[in-house]
Amino acid sequence: MIKLYNFVLKKISHITIAGIIYSSFLIPTISNGQSTGYNWNSVAIGGGGFVSAIITSKTEKNLMYARTDVGGAYRWNATTSRWIPLTDWASENETGYLGVESIAIDPQAPNKLYMLVGIDYFNSGKTAILRSDDYGNNFTVTDVTSQFKAHGNGMGRQTGEKLQVDPNNGTILYCGTRRNGLFKSTNSGASWARVSSLNVTSTPNDNGISFVYVDPSSGTKGNASQTIYVGISRFESPNIFVSKDGGATFNALAGAPTAAFMPQRVSVASDGTMFINFANGAGPHPEYNASGVIINGTVDNGAIWKFNTKSS
């Protein structure tokens, strides 16, 4: 299914680009103020970049978001069967905000949406946490560039999610970064502080932390959850860490595959069974060094690891 969807997205992108090029030869040059008789409107999502992930609400039916590497974020409208763009407001000085590295929905208040945005090579790597109380119709921007930088178009962009809301206390958020370790907010994303107990900051592939998962069964409503899992985008060393005390300490999770695989994404069933998919690279393409030489080839092998969180 993944290969099929990637193929379809690439073909759509090619068709869109070709259409734009073709149209540029057909539409005559017009001067300012000249009436053309045409009505211009936004089109459907079309070739809006590599669709890195689709994030669904656990508590509100039909609520889902799509994030892309360079084309912004979108919310699904089940009534019209269309994807609604959420980041078209970004100015030239905020071009990097179209690189959406992670999305998180507050399970207790699904109207609350959070996004980690930024592209390394745009706007000097300007990075922000976008916060919304109305499903992404409006955002408050928290600039975090001085603390950590996102790269929505970087290696491992399809892994995740790096950004998570504590399911028991919506004022607490966690954000895994590429080069600066794990960060935590206790005021709904308005400010952030590094979680120094996790002694991992970066990885050779520059993806850093691939995902964060906060276990809802480890806390009570209104109080901080105590169990936090963090996936690290590396192999040949520990790559799954767990905290049982709300992030005060972290320890490597025994039994996780490390020899040839690195964690990509995580999902947990209602019975507490955790499923983590691993691959032999960060993806979505081979890794190159500064000289353009491939140092890690095509991602073409993987495994799914099952873990019982209730018995750990």
Q: HSE-up of 41 (CA within 13 Å, CB side)?
A: 3
CA-based radius of gyration for the chain: 20
Q: What Cα–Cα distance (Å) separates residue 155 from each residue in 22, 182, 218, 254?
A: 32, 18, 32, 26
Closest CA to 128 of 153, 104, 151, 145: 145
Q: What is the pLDDT at residue 13?
A: 34
Q: What is the layout of strands, in order, in the sheet containing 262-268?
A: 262-268, 273-279, 302-308
Q: What is the pLDDT at residue 2?
A: 26
The H or E element that residue 14 is part of is helix 2-26
Q: What is the pLDDT at residue 45?
A: 59
CA-to-CA distance for 109 and 57, rounded, in angstroms? Answer: 10
CB 126 within 8 A of CB 151: no
Backbone angles phi, psi at 100, to 5 degrees: -95, 105
Q: What Cα–Cα distance (Å) separates residue 300 from each residue in 3, 279, 284, 288?
A: 11, 8, 10, 17
Question: What is the CATH code of the structural domain delimited by 51-308?
Answer: 2.130.10.10
Residues 24-82: tens digit of each pLDDT: 333 344 445 556 678 887 656 555 678 999 999 999 999 999 999 999 999 999 999 99
All residue ranges of the chain with pLDDT < 50 are 1-31
CA dihedral (158, 159, 165, 167) positive or negative: positive
CA-to-CA distance for 281 and 157, rounded, in angstroms? Answer: 12
Q: What is the pLDDT at residue 12?
A: 31
Give the global pTM. Answer: 0.84
Q: Is 208 left (phi over 0), alpha (psi -120 to 50) or beta?
A: left
Helix, strand or coil, per DSSP, at residue 245: coil
CB 117 within 8 A of CB 99: yes
Q: What is the pLDDT at residue 28?
A: 41
- How does the average pLDDT of the chain come out, rounded? 86
Residues 273-305: tens digit of each pLDDT: 999 999 999 999 887 766 777 767 678 888 999
Instruction: Give the largest CA-CA distance in the chain.
Output: 71
